[in-house]
Structure formats: C-alpha cells, structure tokens
Structure 1
Amino acid sequence: MGRPRSAGFDDHRRDILDAGAALFAKHGYLGTSMNQVAEACGITKPALYHYYRDKDDLLLQIADGHVSALVDLVTAVERDAEPGEPRLRALLDRFLVVYAESKDKHRVLTEDVKYLQPDDLARVLAKERLVVDAFANAIGELRPDLREHGLVKPVTMLLFGMINWLFTWWRPGGRLGLEALIVLIDQFAMGGLAAVKGPAGSGPRPVL
C-alpha cells in the first residue's frame, strides 16, 4: 500500500505548478532548473520530486492543465451561448479572463510546449485543436459565406494571432485594464470580421 497523501498535497502541487509556470515564462523552459523551482517554493529539491517526477512532468502538467481548462471553457460556451455573435463574443470574453488569470501558463503553452515528449505533445496539441475548432465553428456560424471561400480557418488563426501574443505587451494593472481590453478586442474582432470579404471573382473553395 502506498503512503497516503498529506492533507495539503494538492495545494502544494498547485503552488509548485504556479511557481514553475512563472519561472518558465520568465526564463524559458531550457533556462529554468528544478533547483530554481524548489527555491522559489521554499522547499528542497528532493521534496520537489515528491510532487513532480522531473522538469518534463512539470512542463506537461502546466501545459496540459491550462489547455484542459480552455477545453472546458469552450465546451461550456458551446452549451450555453446562442450561435453566432453571442457565442463568439462569449468565447473571446471568457478566453481573455482565463488568459489574464493564467498569463504565465498561457505563455508556457505558447512558447515551451515544443519541448514536451512526442506523445505528450500530441495530446496537448489535440486539445488545442478542440479550442481552435470551437472558435472556427463560431466564426463559421456567424459568417457562413466565409466557408464557401475557405476563409474560416485563416480568419480563426488571425484571431488567435492577436490574442495568443498579448503577453508580449499587455500588462495587468496597467492603463488598459482587463475590462477595457475585452471591449477593445471584441470591437476589433467583430469589426474586422464584418469587413472580411471573399476573394473578388472567386468561386467557392474547399474549406481548409
């Protein structure tokens, strides 16, 4: 029989996860050691390995945990929000709230996921595709004409290009607060989407 977990085991795991995400986001996965993670958590390195097998395991839990939360988010929105603009707005707004609350983890997911082992990477990428597909479906529902020109996927990736890299310039607590950021991105996304037209003179193309 294995040794029972202490009452605070899960809390300690979350604290280590948050510290690891902050260090990976600041120094990169390759530039961070488990010694640094242990020091940031105020524990010894052997104690750290009681919670995570190694640095690969820590990276996996950060990336998989964050993308799983995003999958849960889009699943809830698809269940609760009306199709079309309400659903796309809900996806954007809730995504940005999670982003603001998990900025370090989102940066790790964006920049360091490539260091995962192949099977782990495939699992995380499969969940990422579920998130992207939810946005693509919402865009397609709002603008079904874009499907005829094969533009739903490109427009979706342009949208993610805008929101995935917010960590390079947006600072929580700065002049542009979260609520103002959400309004700005909603306006930019909806206005830009309304302006998209199919290629002039082109007929329907296969959806990407």
Structure 2
Amino acid sequence: MPRGKAASYDDQSEFILAQAAQLFARRGYPATSMNQVAAACGLSKATLYHYHKDKSSLLISIAETHVAQLAALVAEVEASTEAGEEQLRQLIYRIVAQYAGAQDAHRVLTDDVRFLDEADRERVLDQERQVVAGFARAVAALRPGTASDALAKPLTMLLFGMVNWMFTWMKPGGRLDHASIAPIVADLFLGGIGAVKLPEGSAQTRARMR
C-alpha cells in the first residue's frame, strides 16, 4: 500500500512555490536554477525534486495556482447577490486585493509564461481568458441594450491595463496601498477622472490630517 502524504506536504509545497516565485520574479526564470530554489527553501535538491520534477513544473504550478485563485474569486462574486455596478466594483476590489498578496506570482505569470511549452502555456492562458470573460460579462451588464457588446472585451482589457501592472510602480510602504488603489481604479473606470477622490483612511489622507 502506498504511503499517504505527510501532514506538512501541502504546506511545504506552498512554501516552495512562494520561494520559487520570489526568485523567478527577482532574478528572472531563465537565470534561476533548481539549486538556487532548493537553497532558498532550505532543502536538498533531492527533496525539491520530490515535489517538482523540474523548473518548468515549478513555473506551471505557480502560474496555474495564481490563475486558479483569480478564477475562483470571479466565480464567487458572480455567484453572490451583487449585481450591476456593485458587482464590477467587487470584482475590482477582490482582484486588486489578491494581487496585493501575490505580487511575485503575478509578476511570474506576466513575465515568464512565455517560457512554457505551447500546451502548458495555452492551458494557463485559457484560465486567464476565463477570468477576463467574467469581468467582460460584468462590464457588458452595465451597457444595457448591447447584448453582443463589441466593446465589452476591449473595455475589460483597458481595465486590466490599470490593475495588471501595479507591481511595476507600487512600492511597499508607499503613499497608496492596494486597498486604497482599488476604489480609485473602480471610480476612474466607472465614473471618469472627475469621479476619483482620495479614499478615506488612505496614507495620504492621514498625512493631510496631521
């Protein structure tokens, strides 16, 4: 009878993915070796291979785990009682919050999926398309009378253009954190630049009150 996984197997696997994502994000996937991943995890190379057969397997797991979490939050919001503008706002708030805790994985997804074999890359991209489709449905719902709205997808991609690249300019401890940025993105997308205001409780608001 085969042995079951140790109780700590899933925790260890999650830790390995987090360390690998950090290395890939900071050094780049091509420049990172399995030896370096093993060292960052405090594991022998043999133990690392027990979890992942090669570097490509690590990349696939990082990308698929991240996209699966995004798809899950879209499904959760769509299944909720929220509708119309509030549903789109919740999607924006949730995905920005998800990015806040997964910046390394998001950078890897953005920069390194191109290094995967075609079949693996297409599988990850198909999952991404499902996430985009969920947002596009919410956008289309705000444009009544356009059942096959040709602008829903382009508008959605413009929205993702705002949120997908935050990691390139947002810094830890900066004037605005992800929680402050999310309503700004929603206000800008839904109401235009005139609707944007500094969220209550943001770092800048607190500074002005001192």
Contact kept in structure 2, 1:89 and 1:186, CA below 8 Å:
yes
Superposed, which structure 2 residues align to 1:1-208 within 5 Å?
A: 1-144=1-144, 150-192=150-192
In the alignment, the residues of structure 2 paired with residue 2 and residue 27 of structure 1 have an alpha-carbon distance, to the nearest angstrom, of 38
Report if aligned partners of 1:146, 1:152 keep a CA contact under 8 Å in 2.
Answer: no
Contact 1:81 1:90 in 2 (8 A): no
Q: Distance in 2 between matches of 1:142 and 1:62?
A: 33
Distance apart, 1:145 and its partner CA: 5.6
Shift, 1:148, TM fit? 6.7
Letter in 1 for 2:111: E
Tell me, in whole angstroms, the C-alpha distance in 2 between the residues paired with 1:27 and 1:34: 13
State how many pairs are aligned.
195
Change (3 A) 1:188 1:68: same
1:151-204 Cα distance to aligned partner (Å, 9 max, x none): 211111111111111110012332212221112212212123999xxxxxxxxx
Rounded to whole Å, the distance in 1 between the matches of 2:147 and 2:154 is: 11
8 Å Cα contact 1:88-1:135 kept in structure 2: yes
Q: Which 4+ runs in 1 deviate beyond 3 A?
A: 1-4, 144-149, 192-195
TM-score, normalized by length of structure 1? 0.87
Q: Give RMSD over aligned pairs.
A: 2.0
CA–CA distance in structure 2, aligned partners of residues 101 and 146 of structure 1: 36
Q: Which runs of 5+ in 1 are unaligned?
A: 196-208
**TM-score, structure 2 normalization:** 0.86
2:207 paired residue number: none
Equivalent position amino acid for 2:99 in 1: Y
Relative to structure 1, is the Cα distance of residues 186 and 172 closer, same or farther in structure 2, using a 3 angstrom cutoff? farther
Aligned residue identity for 2:69: A
Which protein has greater RCO, CA pairs closer than 8 Å, 6+ apart?
1
CA contact (8 A) 2:140 2:149 kept: no
Question: In structure 1, the residue corresponding to 2:50 is in which secondary structure?
Answer: coil
Counterpart CA distance in 2 for 1:91 and 1:114 is 27
1:59-78 CA-to-partner distances (Å, cap 9, x unmatched) read 00000011001111000000
Q: Distance in 2 between matches of 1:115 and 1:14?
A: 22
Q: Which moved more, 1:177-186 or 1:147-156?
A: 147-156
Structure 2, gaps ≥5 residues long: 196-210
